[in-house]
Amino acid sequence: MTRAGPEAGAVPAPRFTHTATNDLGHETKMSAALETDGFIASSVRTDAPPAIVLDKVNKWFGALHVLRDVDLQVALGERVVVCGPSGSGKSTMIRCINRLETHQEGRILVDGIELSDDLRALDAIRREVGMVFQSFNLFPHLTVLENCTLAPIWVRKMPKKHAEELAMEYLTRVKIPEQAKKYPGQLSGGQQQRVAIARALCMKPKIMLFDEPTSALDPEMIKEVLDTMVMLAAEGMTMICVTHEMGFARQVADRVVFMDRGEIVESGTPEAVFNDPKTERLQLFLSQILRGH
Amino acid sequence: MSDATVDPRFRRKPPKRPLRLSWADERIRGIVWQVLVVGVIGSIIYWLWSNTVHNLEVRRIATGFGFLNREAGLPIAEHLIPYDPTDTYLRALTVGVLNTLKVAVVGIVLATILGTTIGIMRLSKNFLVSKIAGFYVEVIRDLPLLLQLLFWYTVMQGLPGPRQSMNPVEGVFLSNRGLLMPALQWEGAHTAAVLASVAGIVLAWLYGRSARAKQMADGQPRRIWPAAVALILGLPIAVWLALGAPWTISWPALRGFNFRGGMSISPEYAALLIGLVTYTAGFIAEVVRAGILSVNTGQWEAAQALGLRSGSVLRLIVLPQALRVIIPPMTSNYLNLTKNSSLAVAIGYQDIVSIANTTLNQTGQAIEGIAIIMAVYLTISLSISLFMNWYNARIALVER
C-alpha cells in the first residue's frame, strides 16, 4: 500500500519466515523480511477485506467532543502508528476499537463484525483483538504464567496444559521464560510490559492495539519493549500503535496517522508525514516533539 | 540468593556496637523508658489488686466462682437449650452466651449480605440505585446505634396485640409478642436429613473441585450447579423419604392472651437483630465499596480486552484483589457487631451481659461477673480475629 507491496517477500535474505492463518482460514506463507537498512517490509494484504474500518465515528465525553468524524481503514497486516498531542483523542480512538469506550455515532467494523450493543459480537471481537496498555495492567495476584493462561483457559476453553505450553512459547518469544513463576510486582517495568504483550498474544489475536506502550517506562527499558514490537511487526501482525517513538514509526509503520483535537489531520507514509508535513498543526507538533528529544 | 554465590568479602556479620553508658545514647534511653513504663504499670496493677482484696475482706464478700453452682432463680424468656429458673447460674450464663452467639452469628451473616449488596449498589451506574444506597449509608452511619435499637423496639411494641395480630399468610402471625411461624415437629428423620445435607455440601464441593480439574485437563467448562443442587437438596430429601417422610406441623394458635405452638421470634430479638444488621451493614457497605474501588479500572479493562465477560472479571480478577483490602476492616466490623450486641440490655433481650448483670446483682459477685463477661467477649472476639487473620494471610498478595 505504501512503501512496499506484498511482493516485498522477494527482498533478498528474509530473516523471519512463519506460517500464519489469516481470517479467511487460509494458510498463507508470509515472509516478513527485514530489509538491509533495518526497515521492515510491508505485509499489507490488499486482497483481503480490511481488518478495521472506522466510518464517521463521533464520540463525546459529556459535552466534550473528543472524536470528530474519524474515518480510518486498516488493512490486514497493516501497521499504523497514531501520533498527536495529548488530549487529541488517539487513545480514545483505539479504545473504541475493542469497545473499552463506546462511540456514539458512526460505525466501527472489526474483522468484518460491527461493534454494537450485541454482547456476542463484542465477545467475538475482543477474542481477536489484543491490547497492550501504557500502565501494563498485569494481574498482580496471579503469576506471570497465570496472567498468560487466564484468557486462553476461560475464554478459549483451552486445556491448562496446552495454555501453559502456549504461554511458555510466547514468554520465550518476548525473552522472559525464566520469570514465569514470579509475580508481576517482582519484575521491572520493561519485563512487565513484555509479559503484557505475551499475555495478549496468547489469545492469538489477529489485531494488536498498543496504547502508548513505552510511555511509562524508563529510557533503558523502552528499547526491549520496542524490539518486541518490531519482532511482532516483522511477523505480519496487524497493529495500531499510539506512540511518540518516531524511530519506531519510521522503522515499522506502513502509515502514520496524525490526530489533533479529535480529528485525523494528516495520514501517510512515515516519510511523507514526518519529512513533509502539510498542515501547520502537524508542523507545530513535530517541532515540539523534536525539541523534546 | 544462596550464600555460595556471594563474594566472601560480603559474608561477614555486622559489627556489634558497644553499649555506651550515657543519657545521649539512644539505646540507653530506650531501655530506661521501658523499665519505667513496666514499673509504673506493674505498680498500678498491684495497687488495684491489693485494694480490691482489702475491700472484699472489709465487706466480708467471698470471692471465687462457687456461686455458679447455686440455683439462679432468674427467669429467661429465650433459651436455645432447655432452661428453668431452678437451674444453676452456670446454666443461666450458658444460655446468655448462646443468646449472644445467636444474635452475633446471624447478625454477621445478614450484615455481610446486606452490606455487600448496598456497597455494590452504591457503585451502580444507575442514578436512583446509587443514590438510594448512598442515602442509606449516610443516614444509618450517622445515627447512634442505641437510638436505632430503641427505635426498632418501639416499632415492635407498636405492633397490634395478639388478638388483633397481623396474619399475612395462614399460620404466620405478627404481633407485639413477636413473629410466630409454623414449626416442624422435630424427629430423628429430620436430623438425618440435615446430616445428609451437610454430606451433600461436602460432596458438592468435591464435585466442584473435580469439575475444575477436568476443565483444566480438557478445557471444557462444566456446569456445576445442577449436580450441586441435586446433592445438597436431593440427598436430604431422599434420606427423609427413606425414613418414612415424617411430617407433623405444629401450628401457632391463639390461646387466651398468648400464642401456643409453632416457633417464634421474640420482638426483643427481632429489634436487636434488625438494629445491629442495618447499622453494621452501613459500615460494611463502605468497606466493600472501598475494596472494589481500590482495584484499578485498568484491571477491568485488561481483563475485558482479553475477552472475559464481566462476571468472570469480577470473580477471577476483581474480587480476589478487593478481598485483601476488605478483610481487615471487615474483621473490625464483625467484632463491633458482636460487642454492640451487649446493648441488648437496653431493650430487654437476655444476652450474656444482661444475665451476668442480674447474676452479679443477686449474688454480689461483681468482680467475677465482670470477669465472666470480659472472658466471653474476649473469647468470641479472638476467635473471629484469628479466623479472619488466617483467611487474610491465605489470600495475601505476593510482592517483591
> pLDDT of B8-40, one tens digit each?
777 788 888 777 788 888 888 999 999 999 999
The grid coordinates listed for A238 are 496487524
Confidence of residue A33 (pLDDT cuts 50, 70, 90): very low
Q: Residue B4: what pLDDT?
A: 56
- Nearest residue to B101 (alpha-carbon basis) of B348, B285, B269, B279: B269
Cα-Cα end-to-end distance for chain A: 30
Confidence of residue A7 (pLDDT cuts 50, 70, 90): very low
Contact between chains at A100 and B308 (C-beta distance less than 8 A): no
Cβ-nearest to A137 among B302, B307, B397: B302
Collapsing DSSP states into helix, strand and coil, what is residue A181?
coil
Mind telling me how many Å the CA of A145 is from chain B's nearest CA? Answer: 14
- A70-84, B1-15, B165-179 — which is least confidently predicted? B1-15
Rounded to an integer, what distance in angstroms lies between the CA atom of residue B33 and that of residue B121? 51
pLDDT tens for each residue of B365-391: 888 899 999 999 999 999 999 999 888
A92 close to A67: Cβ distance less than 8 angstroms: yes
Cβ-nearest to B298 among A119, A137, A203: A137
pLDDT tens for each residue of B274-322: 999 999 999 999 999 999 999 999 999 999 999 999 889 988 999 889 9
Task: Say which residue the cell 566472601 belongs to.
Answer: B8
- Nearest residue to A46 (alpha-carbon basis) of A18, A80, A10, A74: A74
Contact between chains at B309 and A203 (C-beta distance less than 8 A): no
Rounded to an integer, what distance in angstroms lies between the CA atom of residue A207 and that of residue A228? 16
Strand-pair partners of A67:
A59
Q: Residue A37: what pLDDT?
A: 46
Q: Residue A99: what pLDDT?
A: 93
Rounded to an integer, what distance in angstroms lies between the CA atom of residue A89 and that of residue A58? 11
Q: Residue A293: what pLDDT?
A: 52
State mean pLDDT over B119-136. Answer: 93
Mind telling me how many Å the CA of A35 is from chain B's nearest CA? Answer: 33
Collapsing DSSP states into helix, strand and coil, what is residue A79?
strand
Rounded to an integer, what distance in angstroms lies between the CA atom of residue B71 and that of residue A71? 90
Q: Residue B103: what pLDDT?
A: 95
- Nearest residue to B366 (alpha-carbon basis) of B44, B47, B41, B55: B55
A162 contacts in B (CB within 8 Å)? 219
**B1 touching A (Cβ < 8 Å):** no
Cβ-nearest to A157 among B220, B304, B306: B220
Backbone angles phi, psi at B265, to 5 degrees: -110, 120
Contact between chains at B302 and A131 (C-beta distance less than 8 A): yes
Q: Residue A18: what pLDDT?
A: 41
Q: Does the pLDDT at position A13 exceed 50? A: no
The grid coordinates listed for B250 are 405444629
Mind telling me how many Å the CA of B317 is from chain A's nearest CA? Answer: 7
A157 contacts in B (CB within 8 Å)? 219-221
Rounded to an integer, what distance in angstroms lies between the CA atom of residue B91 and that of residue B359? 12
Q: Residue A31: what pLDDT?
A: 37
- Residue B39: how many CB atoms within 10 A of its CB? 10
Mind telling me how many Å the CA of A123 is from chain B's nearest CA? Answer: 6
> ipTM for the complex?
0.82
B263-265 β-sheet, strand order: B173-175, B178-181, B263-265
A130 contacts in B (CB within 8 Å)? 305-306
Contact between chains at A186 and B216 (C-beta distance less than 8 A): no
Sign of CA dihedral A13, A14, A15, A18: negative
Rounded to an integer, what distance in angstroms lies between the CA atom of residue A64 and that of residue A92? 13
Confidence of residue A29 (pLDDT cuts 50, 70, 90): very low
Q: Would you put residue A106 in left (φ > 0), alpha (ψ -120 to 50) or beta? A: left
Which helix (DSSP H) or strand (DSSP E) does residue B152 occupy? helix B145-157
B218 contacts in A (CB within 8 Å)? 159
Using a CB–CB cut-off of 8 Å, the residues of A that contact B are 98, 100, 119, 123, 126-127, 129-131, 133, 135, 137-141, 150-151, 153-163, 183, 185-186, 196, 199-200, 203
- Residue A244: how many CB atoms within 10 A of its CB? 19
Over chain B, what is the mean pLDDT?
A: 89
Q: How far is CA A15 from the centre of its chain?
A: 22
- Nearest residue to B352 (alpha-carbon basis) of B104, B178, B111: B104
Contact between chains at A156 and B309 (C-beta distance less than 8 A): no
Measure the CA dihedral A7/A8/A10/A12, to 10°: 170
Q: Which amino acid would we find at residue B370?
A: I
Q: Residue A139: what pLDDT?
A: 95
pLDDT tens for each residue of A84-124: 998 899 999 999 999 999 999 999 999 999 998 888 999 99
Interface list for B 278-307 with A (CB within 8 A): 296, 298-299, 301-307
pLDDT tens for each residue of B197-225: 999 999 999 999 998 888 888 888 888 88
State mean pLDDT over B46-59. Answer: 90
pLDDT tens for each residue of B236-278: 899 989 888 888 888 888 777 777 777 888 899 999 999 999 9
Contact between chains at A155 and B306 (C-beta distance less than 8 A): yes
From B219, which residue of chain A is nearest by alpha-carbon distance? A159
Q: How far is CA A146 from CA A143, A149, A166, A204, B257, in A?
A: 5, 5, 12, 16, 67
Backbone angles phi, psi at A34, to 5 degrees: -90, 120
B400 contacts in A (CB within 8 Å)? 185-186
**B336 touching A (Cβ < 8 Å):** no
Mind telling me how many Å the CA of B4 is from chain A's nearest CA? Answer: 21
From A198, which residue of chain B is nearest by alpha-carbon distance? B306
Confidence of residue A292 (pLDDT cuts 50, 70, 90): low
Q: Residue A38: what pLDDT?
A: 60
Rounded to an integer, what distance in angstroms lies between the CA atom of residue A91 and that of residue A94? 5
Interface list for B 34-63 with A (CB within 8 A): none
Task: Say which residue the cell 452456670 belongs to.
Answer: B90
Rounded to an integer, what distance in angstroms lies between the CA atom of residue B183 and that of residue B249? 6
Q: Does residue A23 or residue A164 have the better pLDDT? A: A164
Provide the percentage of residues in chain A whose pLDDT is more than 90.
70
Q: Where are the alpha helices (DSSP H) in B306-340?
A: 310-312, 319-340
Q: How many residues does chain B have?
A: 400
Q: Which amino acid would we find at residue B291?
A: G
B326 contacts in A (CB within 8 Å)? none
Mind telling me how many Å the CA of A202 is from chain B's nearest CA? Answer: 10
Provide the percentage of residues in chain A whose pLDDT is more than 70.
86
